[in-house]
Amino acid sequence: MEKDSAFFIFINDKIEIPFTADFNKLSVEAGTFNSPANGSLKKFINGIRTQRSDLENKSAALQQLSASAQTDSLLLINKKEVAEKEIGYKNYIIQFIDTTSDPVMALFALGYSQNIAPEKLEKSMNGLIKKFPNHMALTSIVAQYNQMIAQSKSKPHEGGMAPDINMPDTSGKAFALSMLKGKYVLVDFWASWCGPCRAENPNVVKAYNNFKDKNFTILGVSLDQDKKQWINAIQSDSLNWHHISDLKYWSSAAVSLYGFEGIPFNVLVDPTGKIIAMNLRGQALENKLQEVLK
């Protein structure tokens, strides 16, 4: 967009825009939209800008702290503040959807909800249908969200219980995730043939060595087909924790159980068997373990 350009967003309901024009000066002075819907739109956009600005400022401050190698305690405080700002941003959108009296504004606000997990919007979706049962566009969008919510619930997710995995270990004996109940467990899906997995392994090894004495362990679940290559990779990368595989490549039961489409992939499970984080990589893995194992 050019520096001096502008664009307009307004709700096309009953709008009256008073204005005066001076054709000698080629100027126009316009009044304000007198529509309640457009007043609501303006309020929402201003609120979103404020929320987003606060979040971006906190995130930028955190990046500066990370770059300056500040203490872990200071970084954790700032990460908590960023997380709180992100929650506030999402809650602002959800609250607006829940309280708006205009179905078009509800649709507009839903456009800002891409980063909100569908299941977090379930109550809001049901509320919209009750408030605006005859609005065709909104009904269609809500139906799509409900489908995503149903699909999300059918897959393992944060806050849900981790499906048990029972496969042969490197010696051929059956070993299950449930046998590690009572510990924090990183279930790490990988394979010897997976370049990104092998590149990430040093970070996983570091995390294991740093936290193995704090009620933490790892369960490696491989999508290998060749047992020898699998075991060689374990030894070569010094992956000194439990390993299992049914040696079925992408036909592995692990894929259908956890619904992932690529590796490396992992889930962090708490001592009760609940998933508390997913897809932790590099420093994010280290930070999360520091948070839960402090």
Closest CA to 197 of 205, 114, 43: 205
The candidate with the shortest Cα–Cα distance to 187, out of 200, 204, 169, 172, is 204
Residue range 141-164: mean pLDDT, rounded: 81
Average pLDDT over residues 14-37: 53
Inside any domain, residue 132: no
What one-character-per-residue DSSP string does 38-49 give?
A: HHHHHHHHHHHH
The span from the CA of 154 to the CA of 167, in Å, is: 22
Cα 89 from Cα 102, distance rounded (Å)? 21
If asked whether residues 287 and 198 sit together in one domain, one would say yes
Q: Which three-class secondary structure state does DSSP give residue 91?
A: helix
Give a yes or no: residue 25 inside a domain. Answer: no
What's the CATH number where 201 sits? Answer: 3.40.30.10
Query: Same domain, yes or no, for 180 and 276?
Result: yes
Q: Hey, is 192 helix, strand or coil?
A: coil
The mean pLDDT value for 38-63 works out to 83
Q: What's the pLDDT score for residue 63?
A: 74
pLDDT for 141 equals 84
H-state helical runs in the chain: 36-67, 72-99, 103-110, 122-131, 136-154, 195-211, 227-236, 253-258, 282-292
Q: How many domains is the chain built from?
A: 2
Check: pTM over 0.85? Answer yes or no.
no
Q: Does 200 have pLDDT greater than 80?
A: yes
Confirm whether 148 is domain-assigned. Answer: no
Give the residue among 167, 164, 182, 156 at the shortest CA–CA distance from 242: 167
Residues spanned by the domain of 283: 166-292
| Digit-coded pLDDT (tens) for 68-127 | 655 666 766 777 787 788 888 899 999 999 999 888 888 888 888 877 777 778 888 889
Q: Between the CA of residue 85 and those of 51, 54, 65, 124, 280, what are the distances in Å?
A: 8, 7, 17, 21, 21
Listed as own residue / partner, the contacts of 202-208 with beta carbons closer than 8 Å and 24 or more positions apart are 202/237, 203/281, 203/282, 203/285, 203/286, 204/239, 204/285, 205/237, 205/238, 205/239, 205/240, 206/286, 207/285, 207/286, 207/289, 208/240, 208/241
Query: Residues 107, 176: one domain?
Result: no
Q: Same domain, yes or no, for 279 and 173?
A: yes
Q: Give which of 218, 183, 177, 224 is closest to 201, Cα–Cα.
A: 218
* Same domain (yes/no): 83, 185: no
Same domain for 110 and 173, yes or no, is no
pLDDT of res. 1? 40
Together in a domain, 106 and 171: no
In this structure, the answer to whether residues 102 and 178 fall within a common structural domain is no
